[in-house]
Amino acid sequence: MNKYRFLLISLAAILMASCVEDNLSSPEVNNEDIAAAKKIINTAANADSGTLIFYVTEECASRIENAEVTRSGMTELDLLAMEIEASAIKPVFNLKVNGDEKRARGMHRWYTVDFPSTVALEDAAMKLAKIDYVETVQYAGKMQRPEAKPIMVDPATISSTRADEYPFNDPAMPMQWHYINKGRQSLYPGSIEGEDINVEPAWKLTTGRPEVVVAIVDEGVCYNHVDLEANMHVNEAELNGEDNVDDDNNGYVDDVYGYNFGLGGRVSYMRDGDQGHGTHVAGTIAAVNNNGVGVAGVAGGSGNGDGVRIFSAQIFSGKEDHANYAQTAAAIEYSADRGACILQCSWGFEPNAIQNDNEFQNDHRYSVEYEAIEYFISKKNCAALDGGLVIFAAGNEGQPIAGYPGAYRNYLAVTAFAPDGLPAYYTCYDKGCNISAPGGEYFLYNNSIQSTGCVYSTVAGPNVKPANEGYAYMQGTSMACPHVSGVAALGLSYALDLGKTFTVDQFKALLTTSVNAFPDSAFQGYKDHAEGGSMNLASYRNKMGTGKIDAYRLLMAIRGVSCVPVSTKETNYIDFSKFVGKDGLEMKVADYDISEDTIEALGIVFDQFTSGKVVLQCSKAGVGTIKVGMIAGGTMEGSGIITAGMRIEREFALIARPDVETDENGNPIKSDGWL
């Protein structure tokens, strides 16, 4: 289970400062200290000692940019540097790459100062904050890695007798219920067919494209994993260059498959304490499909070198050599500069720390990591999208708010559901949560904890032998998040196929509306879980985001085809005119045509046209298409040049599922007919 960093609010620092000052006699000193304390945007809890992050005025930045390492040329800053024996004052961001663009955004105003760890940190922060041209001071809090607890399972031991029912030849696909859930009770007792990301029909349209690059901001990705290597994004200049030399002169030495921002240097995954978390996340997005080995990835290609590409922006390393805020910001900046269009972030800090504190949220906006994320969003690295997509895990504390920074309005935060289609017991929900995906969960069976309800993917690390061939189950919103990143990557691949382009806001709207609803029945009663507790499902009603991500729906939305959900349990009476316009539009359905493939895919046992409605009985979950003839304007079709309605034809996608809700007339309630 993942644990998120606990971040105390800056208000506490301000209040503490105020309390201390109350004991002093001089009101001038009091005000000066309070003003300085307000510039400090977080507390020293969990922060790196011996370093501080700060943001200076434009004028100061332009003067110190070319100054020497330990001398800024600014008097007050240099006096402080001498006092704390500073060893370096350096910019956070890499102005060697896209420098003009970064200067225009003010990114050159972020600096770090390094000094001996014996110097009192909070004292140094206050002194720094008292300098006029220092506008913001941020403690270099360390990112805390989500706890992964992998449960290793060798795919060779798995019965793959059913593997021939799957679209690719990867033998472990039957364990990946999160892609194709066949409702097998042996994997998870409450497993329900179709409670997955509906990627199987999507794979008939696209399996990914190498032009779509995803940055894995996480533990180091095992770049030579047998099931990942072919989809790694490779820096050829470094691959073919010299060791310890920055061959492509991008400011990072030996960044072949990414970079380790906590320790500096090559990506690593074999340190004591590495859990395989980053490799697991990477596998969900881009494990190589159809290579006869291990697992499949959501956008891992078809086995012909055509998957999306990933690289490692490593912020977690070993037991505790994790990146701090400044280093994490650099990792995000690097992701943008290296060409990623999706930022995959299965981490964050604990939500309750800053809940309901608007003043703090506004202050925190100016943090160094926020600056980096906004830069990522501004970079156009995919021809189908005018910027970058940022996707965070919602968090695993079971709190009614997403973790930060994912909870910010502009970033997607992903909640987790289990193979039964119900909220996973650990998932955060409600405020700041945008969409849901499979995160899986452990469950109790005969009093022992079972892992087969979790997400199955690649792992690597010191506990895996051989280190680059591992597979494991993990649970968490950390595992849900890459499902959304993978589906988004598939969507962008398909948009490239079709030559379509979207703004970031349009694409986020398509993602968050390409979902299946949690039916109302999901929010009734209680559910027992592996940690011995019981969830009151009513607490989650309408709070899991817009719904469960559906890859096929996203592709249809990108194509511009409306999806019509139909039930496999009840007879459907569908008025297609409802899906082509708003109330008052004069549109009459005249006839329809369903292909043999669709009849087979949905197990259609009965279909008929009655009173303007198509009556359908489906016997299995699946997708297909239907062509509907309509009279636009008027109630009857004209002929020749006679004034009457115009006959039009439109294609709709039918999505058959067991849990579609219908109104009293059998019409599907939820639709994306607005498209």
Site residues for Ca ion per CB under 5 A: 170, 227, 238, 241, 245-248, 250, 252, 254-255, 288, 291, 293-294
Nearer of residues 493 and 617 to Ca ion, judged by Cβ? 493
Residue labelled with tokens 């970058």: 388
Nearest C-alpha neighbor of 387 from the set 216, 555, 507: 507
Nearer of residues 254 and 397 to Ca ion, judged by Cβ? 254
Question: Minimum distance from CB of 167 to Ca ion (Å)?
Answer: 12
Nearest C-alpha neighbor of 558 from the set 550, 569, 566: 550
Nearer of residues 460 and 580 to Ca ion, judged by Cβ? 460
Question: Minimum distance from CB of 260 to Ca ion (Å)?
Answer: 13
Is 662:668 a contact under the CB 8 Å cutoff? yes
Nearer of residues 244 and 358 to Ca ion, judged by Cβ? 244
Nearer of residues 222 and 353 to Ca ion, judged by Cβ? 222
Nearer of residues 48 and 254 to Ca ion, judged by Cβ? 254
Question: Minimum distance from CB of 164 to Ca ion (Å)?
Answer: 16
Q: How far, rounded to the nearest angstrom, does the alpha carbon of residue 386 sit from its chain's CA centroid?
A: 18
Q: How far apart (Å, rounded) are the C-alpha atoms in residues 228 and 289?
A: 10
Q: Say which DSSP state 352 is in.
A: G
Helix spans in 246-366 (H): 277-286, 325-337, 358-364
Nearer of residues 263 and 537 to Ca ion, judged by Cβ? 263
Nearer of residues 189 and 241 to Ca ion, judged by Cβ? 241
Q: How far apart (Å, rounded) are the C-alpha atoms in residues 40 and 624?
A: 56
Nearer of residues 48 and 227 to Ca ion, judged by Cβ? 227
Question: Minimum distance from CB of 157 to Ca ion (Å)?
Answer: 16
Nearer of residues 245 and 605 to Ca ion, judged by Cβ? 245
Give the Å distances, CA to CA, from 387 to 282, 409, 483: 22, 17, 20
Nearer of residues 293 and 590 to Ca ion, judged by Cβ? 293
Which token pair is 603? 């197990």
Nearer of residues 193 and 247 to Ca ion, judged by Cβ? 247
Nearer of residues 66 and 244 to Ca ion, judged by Cβ? 244
Question: Minimum distance from CB of 575 to Ca ion (Å)?
Answer: 44
Q: What does the buried/exposed string (b/e) look like for 645-660 if buried means 16 or more CB atoms within 10 Å of the residue's CB?
A: beeeebebbbbbbbbb
Nearer of residues 288 and 490 to Ca ion, judged by Cβ? 288
Residues forming a β-bridge with 313 = 217, 259
Assign 3-state DSSP to the chain and report helix, strand, coil percentages, each to 5. Answer: 25, 25, 50
3-class secondary structure, 652: strand
Which token pair is 630? 């309509």
Nearer of residues 65 and 246 to Ca ion, judged by Cβ? 246
Nearer of residues 286 and 631 to Ca ion, judged by Cβ? 286
Q: How far apart (Å, rounded) are the C-alpha atoms in residues 170 and 202?
A: 17
Measured in degrees and rounded to the nearest 5, phi and psi for residue 539 equal -65, -20
Q: How far apart (Å, rounded) are the C-alpha atoms in residues 30 and 22?
A: 7
Question: Minimum distance from CB of 462 to Ca ion (Å)?
Answer: 23
CB-based contacts of 602-610 (< 8 A; 24+ apart in sequence): 602/566, 602/568, 602/654, 602/656, 603/568, 603/656, 606/571, 610/573
Question: Minimum distance from CB of 237 to Ca ion (Å)?
Answer: 7
3-class secondary structure, 448: strand
State which H helix or E strand residue 621 sits in: none
Question: Minimum distance from CB of 307 to Ca ion (Å)?
Answer: 10
Measured in degrees and rounded to the nearest 5, phi and psi for residue 229 equal -50, -45
**Cβ-Cβ contacts under 8 Å for 358 (sequence gap 6 or more):** none
Question: Minimum distance from CB of 376 to Ca ion (Å)?
Answer: 19
Which token pair is 562? 């409306």
Q: How far apart (Å, rounded) are the C-alpha atoms in residues 97 and 124?
A: 31
Question: Minimum distance from CB of 240 to Ca ion (Å)?
Answer: 9
Question: Minimum distance from CB of 294 to Ca ion (Å)?
Answer: 5
Question: Minimum distance from CB of 248 to Ca ion (Å)?
Answer: 5
Is 159:172 a contact under the CB 8 Å cutoff? no
578: left (phi over 0), alpha (psi -120 to 50) or beta: alpha
Q: How far apart (Å, rounded) are the C-alpha atoms in residues 56 and 552?
A: 48
Which token pair is 396? 């695993």
Question: Minimum distance from CB of 668 to Ca ion (Å)?
Answer: 36
Question: Minimum distance from CB of 207 to Ca ion (Å)?
Answer: 12
Nearest C-alpha neighbor of 459 from the set 479, 438, 441: 479
Is 507:425 a contact under the CB 8 Å cutoff? no
Question: Minimum distance from CB of 340 to Ca ion (Å)?
Answer: 16
Q: How far apart (Å, rounded) are the C-alpha atoms in residues 658 and 304?
A: 35
Residues forming a β-bridge with 626 = 594, 652
Question: Minimum distance from CB of 478 to Ca ion (Å)?
Answer: 21
Nearer of residues 114 and 255 to Ca ion, judged by Cβ? 255
Q: How far apart (Å, rounded) are the C-alpha atoms in residues 264 and 101?
A: 25
Alpha-carbon Rg for the chain in angstroms: 27
Question: Minimum distance from CB of 93 to Ca ion (Å)?
Answer: 16
